[in-house]
Amino acid sequence: MYFRFSMENILVTGGSGLVGSHLKRFLPNASYISSRDFDLTREKDVERLFETKWERVIHLAGRVGGILENIRRPGEFIEENLLMNTLLLKYARLSGVPRLTAVLSTCIYPDVRERYPMTEADVNQGPPQETNFAYAISKIAMAAQIDAYNKQYSTRYNYLIPSNLYGEHDRVDFEKSHFLTALLGKILKAEKEGANSVKLLGSGKPLRQFLHADDLCRVIRDCVSKDVTDSFNVAPDENLSIREIAGIAVAVCTGDRLAIEFDRDSPDGQFRKDVSNERMKKTLGEFEFTPLREGIARVYAHYRETDVI
């Protein structure tokens, strides 16, 4: 029997970020906050936030960035994320929030495993990849805090572990953006400037699962509507190399008019981190993911229309 609550009494943190911006279409009556409204690293702000008796919290807020940002600012990443996650969960529990769903990342998984795709049981079976170690530790800590609360206080909180995300509402920043967002921005810039190629970091060999933000939002909506309290991965079956993904993007966006170059002196990051979606499908039923070509075409068209470069 589902837990009954008002769809309007839902708090979403990180409301101006990629997932939060997409989620507004799927949960239009929720209350969305950003860092402009509350500083979740400050206890007084978090305490004030929970003066409202929320029936569900969807925690999306976090300090995020691409591989270079993670390498350059590990202290900021771990400090800010540990503070906001710990305080948010603490005051959600103290104020009696019945349901909470937090969004993590597949970067919490071990850098190397003997078998792939990895399952939820593989978390904590080895250290995360070095280039985003600090960020990953903060997300692992949040998962541990949720599990500990459920065990000690009988809360019904859960977390989702999505693969690499992209979407129309991501911010294009060549220093801070994730791979696919930065790639589409570089393609758009090259077209505007009449360039013949785009240059990408690393060798192009690492493998990645890319998930359109709308797909994660549909999963979040289903967790709300079906009162799901299990934790699981959210990722498509497709697992492609960076070179293959770049090739698809160039073909979709330009008709193969641009060459792809790789800066092999730059770091690759984790070689592979593909995860299984078997538990997700058992929990929610069959789920149709947005095909990568379709998603890339949609995002690129949006970037061109909104003149992000």
Per residue in 90-147, pLDDT (tens digit) is 999 999 999 999 999 999 999 999 999 999 999 999 999 998 999 999 999 999 999 9
Interatomic CA distance for residues 164 and 62, integer angstroms: 15
Query: Are residues 45 and 53 in contact, defined by beta-carbon separation less than 8 angstroms?
Result: no
Which range scores top for mean pLDDT: 35-49, 61-75, 172-186?
35-49
Report the percent of the chain where pLDDT is more than 70: 97
Q: pLDDT of 104-115, one tens digit each?
A: 999 999 999 999
Q: Cβ of 252: how many Cβ atoms within 10 Å?
A: 21
Q: Give the mean model confidence (pLDDT) for residues 214-236.
A: 98
- pLDDT of res. 6: 56
Beta bridge partners of residue 275, listed in sequence order: 118
The single-letter code of the amino acid at 126 is G
Which among 30, 25, 28, 36 has a CA at the least distance from the CA of 59? 30
277 pLDDT higher than 80: yes
CATH number at residue 129: 3.40.50.720
Q: What is the residue type of 245?
A: I
Average pLDDT over residues 50-62: 97
Residue 2 has pLDDT above 50, yes or no: no
CA distance 287 to 130: 33
Distance (Å, whole) CA 90 – CA 302: 38
CA angle 91, 96, 98 (to 5 degrees): 115
Cβ(113)–Cβ(173) below 8 Å: no
Is residue 184 assigned to a domain?
Answer: no
| Angle (CA) 148 146 15, round 5° | 165
Residue 249 has pLDDT above 70, yes or no: yes
User: Tokens 């969960």 label which residue?
Assistant: 89
In a domain, 91, yes or no: yes
202 lies in some domain: no
178 in a structural domain: no
Residue 280, Cα to own-chain centre: how many angstroms? 16
Residue 68 confidence (pLDDT) above 80: no
Domain assignment present for residue 298? The answer is: no
Q: Confirm whether pTM is higher than 0.75.
A: yes
How far the first Cα of the chain sits from its last, in Å, is: 49
In this prediction, residue 177 carries a pLDDT of 78
Q: Are strands 207-208 and 240-241 parallel, antiparallel or unpaired?
A: antiparallel
Residue 281 included in any domain: yes
Range of the domain at 284: 10-169+210-237+274-290
- 214 lies in some domain: yes
Angle at 284 between CA 280 and CA 287, to 5 degrees: 80
pLDDT tens digits along 153-202: 999 999 999 999 999 999 888 777 788 999 999 999 999 999 999 999 89
DSSP, res 104 = -
Structural domain total, the chain:
1
> What is the structure's pLDDT at 1?
39
pLDDT surpasses 50 at 300? yes
Asked if residues 272 and 205 have their Cβ atoms less than 8 Å apart, the reply is no
- Residue 69 is predicted with a pLDDT of 82
Q: Residue 43 — left, alpha, or beta (φ > 0 → left; ψ -120 to 50 → alpha)?
A: alpha
Nearest Cα neighbor of 142 from 198, 101, 99 is: 101
Q: Whole-angstrom Cα distance, residue 158 to residue 64?
A: 21
Catalytic residues: 135
- Token pair 């000690």 is found at 152
Asked if residue 3 has pLDDT above 80, the reply is no
Whether 204 is in a domain gets the answer no
Nearest-CA neighbor of 22 among 246, 295, 209?
A: 295
* Mean pLDDT, residues 255-273: 92
Please give the pLDDT value at position 212: 98
pLDDT exceeds 90 at position 66: no
pLDDT (tens digit, 9 = 90+) per residue, 232-244?
Answer: 999 999 999 999 9
* Local confidence band at 7 (pLDDT 50, 70, 90 cut-offs): low
